Amino acid sequence: MRTDTPQTIFRKDYTPPSYLVDTVELGFDLDPARTIVASRLTLRRNPAATTRGIELHGEDIELVALRLNGKLLGKRDYTLANNLLTIRSAPDDVVLEIETLCAPDKNTTLSGLYVSNGNFFTQCEAEGFRRITFFPDRPDVMAKFTVMLRADKARYPVLLSNGNLLEEGDLDDGRHYALWEDPFKKPSYLFALVAAQLVCQEETFRLADGRDALLQVWVEDGNLDKTDYAMQSLKHSIRWDEEKYGLELDLDRFMIVATSDFNMGAMENKGLNIFNTKFVLANPRVATDIDFQGIEAVVAHEYFHNWTGNRVTCRDWFQLSLKEGLTVFRDQEFTADMIGTATGRAVTRIDQVRTLRQAQFPEDAGPMAHPVRPDSFVEINNFYTVTVYEKGAEVVRMYQTLFGVDGFRKGMDLYFARHDEQAVECDDFRRAMADANNRELGQFERWYSQAGTPVLRFEGRWDEAAQTYTLTLFQSCPATPGQPEKLPFHIPVAVGLLDAAGADMALVVDGQQRGTTAVLELTEAEQTFVFTGVTGQPVASVLRDFSAPVILQGGYTDADLLHLFSHDSDPVNRWEAGQRLAMERLLKLTGEAGANDDAAASLNLDETFIEALRKILVDETLDPAFREQCLTLPSESMVAEQLECVDPLAVHIARQFVRADLGTRLRNELLAQYEANATPGPYSPDAASAGKRALKNLALAYLNAAPDAASVALAQRQFDEADNMTDRAAALSALVAARVPQAADALAVFYDEFQNEALVVDKWFAMQALSPTTDLAAVRALMTHPAFTLRNPNRARSLVAMFCVNNPVQFHAPDGSGYAFWAEQVIALDALNPQVASRLARAMDRWRRYAPALQWQMREALQKVAGQVKLSNDVREIVGKALA
């Protein structure tokens, strides 16, 4: 916690480390109040260095002793200021022995070494290792680690660290030890230890090269009935990486450990992944389909980091997307392959597009907009963003779109051939892709350096006499903080042409046969492509499969969209046409609702739109999962994103009206789908069953958006009878949203039944927090519930962040009470855990877009936080940028 002006760090200021570390030996005497860390480092001067002194980072730790080549150093031999220990002059080869103290039980930040439920865990990315011992804590310093753990045996029977277990045994006084060695060089951010009372599910698994690896999933006692799915996901991930990329597990042992106190989803520490329980624990009784999907994706993500992140790592934190964008892309492809079917793939792609629109586009248009490879930051923890992760994944996907799956694989192979066991830059990845495919990708670099979402427009003209279709594409990109002007991007635009019957035309572009989808490469601000042999007026399907992370603006008439929604062979664009039809209507209704106090009575939805949805809803040739996506409306925040001046209440009224109107006018069809998509028999999380449940529960939600007694009874029956959490939670949400008296009883029953399942209690809080029926007073009441605490990030997020981010109509209450609450909670959280506080702080990013009466109250709340004398760099950066 610092009170002075935080310092900005620039990418251009990178200098190589003055010393390299070859080996690290760490000894831990673990004690919650007073842990002793002894470190022995062998260092050697970096021939590439431009600076001379040894520089070690250290934060919130006490230096006990420091020896250089055996000699005890005194206060005159080094300086220690601003969390940096500098030894100004030292020989070329150095052995440093460092003894430090820390207090894990006082560490509420969950960065460094901390205690959770009485167990020890570490979290070192990005800069947590310096909270454990003094070290050149930067990712371009890679060393071999040996770790000795000592702790009380009864209290901490399990002692884990990275790599392989060399030795374990008993010590005096009831203590024991374990010695671990990681055979690979790694940066400090990948270090981990666990000392705990845990149990594990384990299995030996035969790798492609015939070696056997030991796989373990460690959890608290009582949770072994919830580890199967994580284990299965791990095995699938290992297999997939072998088959898809020829990448094998390089260790004899791979461990996953779950903790309930964790800032993020999970962490890819070498051989010892530490996970938020949310992404490990699942069985049908406590976890929903979405939870199962999340576990599969996150287990895969962390496993894939073993190559993309660990074996090849980042030179500096500005290159974060090098590992994160690539690894997200890999987990996305894994998820798609696990489903296997073409529509299954499209359904996962639609989920990705939704995430981008819901979270990344707003980030890219707001005060925190930054390039995929940022140029500067105050606090690196603020840059674990949807831009670095999800837009980064889109940038990686574009290589595959340009070069095909085989070309992409060639680029990956070259990347590993060149850079294994190195710390490199995003540019190195781009160069490997370019060189492996003999392509010049200079302009493509702008995807890494320019922030903001490009806007794509198109104009098409069919010439009957010439039988040509001329497609002109235009691109532009809005200014973002620090980047007033943008240069054109290299954009792959996948295009198809539909004939009057809705069939794909065979494409000939510039004289070349291009199948039925052509990937056009747009590199100029404006460019024209000529399709020949076009015998009738086509409807263009532009940006198929969402081939680039851009905003496609205009270009379509309602009739075009209806045609695409009925016929497009590309499921993503088919869905997209429906979303555009819905968005146009939501925007019009929002305008009407805002202009008229008695709006709800006069709103109305055209029969054409209802008919289009009806046709999709009952089309048995389409997967239920896809139909569910087509019937799901853009969220309130997506609608808000389209408006220059947001009135959250009007948006809410409009969207609620559409939901209720669909519930009324499609009642019979919804009821029929509700029945038809029952999933009898034992629960299975597979995509087909999950898709059926999704459609069934969407039907239930729409029916209860205009609740009559029968619909409420349906929800109540499902709540009472369902044997799985997906259906129970959906039924409970429907009851809560329907504002019926049964909701309170059901909430009580639910809590009673699951009060010992922390992750379900989170759901219980979240469900209430995001219901438009829950006002701030109700949130405050929930905060006094004995199960509520700000100290556990999952719990804090389930109530406070859910309300501030996902309950717009209540959060933006006209009296500004939501904003005052936000300020109060950001400040309270900041004192405990700056990373969690800082995420919550971002709820105000888009304050300038709101109606003036809300805007000034939002600014006041931001100023209140910014005016705090004691504030972390994390929160100070966010509110500072919001107000700038």
Greatest alpha-carbon span in the chain: 94
What secondary structure letter does DSSP report for 492?
E
CB of 263 to ligand PHE, least distance (A): 6
Question: Out of Zn ion, ligand PHE, none, which partner does residue 123 contact, by CB within 5 to 8 A per kind?
Answer: ligand PHE
Q: Please, which residue, 320 or 650, has the CB nearer to Zn ion?
A: 320
How far, CA to CA in Å, does 294 sit from each of 64, 192, 298? 43, 23, 6
Q: Please, which residue, 302 or 570, has the CB nearer to ligand PHE?
A: 302
Sequence-ordered list of residues with C-beta below 8 angstroms from that of 681, at least 6 positions apart, any chain: none
CB of 381 to ligand PHE, least distance (A): 7
Question: Out of Zn ion, ligand PHE, none, which partner does residue 636 contact, by CB within 5 to 8 A per kind?
Answer: none
Q: In what order do the strands lie in the sheet with 518-522?
A: 518-522, 491-498, 539-542
* 267 makes contact with ligand PHE (CB under 6 A): yes
**HEC sequence for 201-220:** EEEEEECCCCCEEEEEEEEC
Task: Identify the helix (H) or strand (E) that includes residue 696.
Answer: helix 687-703
Question: Out of ligand PHE, Zn ion, none, which partner does residue 97 contact, by CB within 5 to 8 A per kind?
Answer: none
* 636 makes contact with ligand PHE (CB under 6 A): no
Q: Please, which residue, 59 or 570, has the CB nearer to ligand PHE?
A: 59
Question: Out of Zn ion, ligand PHE, none, which partner does residue 544 contact, by CB within 5 to 8 A per kind?
Answer: none
Kindly state the number of chain residues that form the binding site for ligand PHE, as judged by CB under 6 A: 12
CB of 387 to ligand PHE, least distance (A): 14
Which residue is it, tokens 């002194």?
53
Contact assessment for residue 640 and residue 616, using Cβ atoms and an 8 Å cutoff: no
Question: Out of Zn ion, ligand PHE, none, which partner does residue 384 contact, by CB within 5 to 8 A per kind?
Answer: ligand PHE
Question: Out of ligand PHE, Zn ion, none, which partner does residue 267 contact, by CB within 5 to 8 A per kind?
Answer: ligand PHE
Cα-flanking dihedrals φ and ψ of residue 174, to 5°? 75, 15
Q: Please, which residue, 327 or 573, has the CB nearer to ligand PHE?
A: 327
Q: Please, which residue, 384 or 609, has the CB nearer to Zn ion?
A: 384
Contact assessment for residue 135 and residue 56, using Cβ atoms and an 8 Å cutoff: yes
**Could you tell me the end-to-end alpha-carbon distance of the chain, in angstroms, rounded to an integer?**
22
Binding mask 114-153 for Zn ion (x = CB under 5 A): ----------------------------------------
CA distance 318 to 152: 40
CB of 125 to ligand PHE, least distance (A): 4
Question: Out of Zn ion, ligand PHE, none, which partner does residue 133 contact, by CB within 5 to 8 A per kind?
Answer: none
Please identify, among the stretches 95-103, 261-269, 363-371, 667-675, the one whose residues bind ligand PHE according to the rule CB under 6 A. Answer: 261-269
Q: Please, which residue, 327 or 774, has the CB nearer to Zn ion?
A: 327
Question: Out of ligand PHE, Zn ion, none, which partner does residue 266 contact, by CB within 5 to 8 A per kind?
Answer: ligand PHE
Task: Look up residue 428 and give its two tokens.
Answer: 């190195």
Q: Please, which residue, 731 or 875, has the CB nearer to ligand PHE?
A: 875
CB of 642 to Zn ion, least distance (A): 31
Q: Please, which residue, 147 or 299, has the CB nearer to Zn ion?
A: 299
Binding mask 318-357 for Zn ion (x = CB under 5 A): ------x--x------------------------------
Query: What are the DSSP calls for 20-53, one per residue?
Result: EEEEEEEEEE--SS-EEEEEEEEEEE-TT-S--S
CA distance 427 to 425: 5
CB of 126 to ligand PHE, least distance (A): 6
How far, CA to CA in Å, does 167 sit from each of 163, 181, 200, 257, 876? 12, 10, 19, 20, 46
Cross-strand partners of 94: 43
Please identify, among the stretches 224-232, 262-270, 536-544, 714-722, the one whose residues bind ligand PHE according to the rule CB under 6 A. Answer: 262-270
Q: Please, which residue, 269 or 704, has the CB nearer to ligand PHE?
A: 269
Binding mask 592-631 for ligand PHE (x = CB under 6 A): ----------------------------------------
How far, CA to CA in Å, does 559 sit from each of 500, 501, 545, 563, 564? 11, 13, 21, 6, 9
Catalytic residue among 127, 302, 363, 394: 302
Please identify, among the stretches 2-10, 264-272, 339-347, 761-769, the one whose residues bind ligand PHE according to the rule CB under 6 A. Answer: 264-272
Task: Look up residue 406 and give its two tokens.
Answer: 């085989």
CB of 265 to ligand PHE, least distance (A): 6
By CB under 6 A, the residues from 516 to 545 that bind ligand PHE are none
Cross-strand partners of 379: none
Q: Please, which residue, 372 or 477, has the CB nearer to Zn ion?
A: 372
Q: Please, which residue, 386 or 473, has the CB nearer to Zn ion?
A: 386
CB of 128 to ligand PHE, least distance (A): 8
Sequence-ordered list of residues with C-beta below 8 angstroms from that of 49, at least 6 positions apart, any chain: 15, 16, 17, 18, 19
Q: Please, which residue, 267 or 640, has the CB nearer to ligand PHE?
A: 267
Q: Which residue among 291, 296, 302, 641 contacts ligand PHE (CB under 6 A)?
A: 302
Contact assessment for residue 131 and residue 113, using Cβ atoms and an 8 Å cutoff: yes
Sequence-ordered list of residues with C-beta below 8 angstroms from that of 620, at least 6 positions apart, any chain: none
- Give me the residue whose beta carbon is nearest to ligand PHE: 264
Q: Which residue among 220, 268, 291, 363 contacts ligand PHE (CB under 6 A)?
A: 268
CB of 267 to ligand PHE, least distance (A): 4
CA distance 781 to 572: 43
Contact assessment for residue 121 and residue 160, using Cβ atoms and an 8 Å cutoff: no
Q: Choose among 625, 603, 630: nearest CA to 614.
A: 630
By CB under 6 A, the residues from 68 to 127 that bind ligand PHE are 123, 125-126
Sequence-ordered list of residues with C-beta below 8 angstroms from that of 611, at least 6 positions apart, any chain: none
Q: Choose among 553, 686, 709: nearest CA to 623.
A: 686
607 is catalytic: no
3-state secondary structure of 188: helix
Question: Out of Zn ion, ligand PHE, none, which partner does residue 797 contact, by CB within 5 to 8 A per kind?
Answer: none
Q: Please, which residue, 129 or 819, has the CB nearer to ligand PHE?
A: 129
Which residue type does 464 have?
A: E
CA distance 377 to 16: 19
* Cβ neighbour number for residue 491 with a 10 Å cutoff: 23
CA distance 472 to 779: 52
* 874 makes contact with ligand PHE (CB under 6 A): no
Binding mask 361-400 for ligand PHE (x = CB under 6 A): -----------------------x----------------
Q: Which residue among 37, 142, 258, 264 contacts ligand PHE (CB under 6 A)?
A: 264
By CB under 6 A, the residues from 305 to 344 that bind ligand PHE are 324
| Pairing of β 212-219 and β 253-259 | parallel
Q: Which residue among 266, 552, 640, 844 contacts ligand PHE (CB under 6 A)?
A: 266
Binding mask 515-554 for Zn ion (x = CB under 5 A): ----------------------------------------
Instruction: Name the percent of the chain in helix, strand, coil, to the closest 5.
Output: 45, 20, 35
CA distance 79 to 71: 17
Query: Which stretches of 512-606 are DSSP H helices?
Result: 558-567, 571-595, 599-602
Q: How far is CA 52 from the centre of its chain?
A: 39
Binding mask 124-143 for ligand PHE (x = CB under 6 A): -xx-----------------
Q: Which residues bind ligand PHE (CB under 6 A)?
A: 123, 125-126, 263-264, 266-268, 301-302, 324, 384
Q: Which residues bind Zn ion (CB under 5 A)?
A: 324, 327
- Active site residue ranges: 302
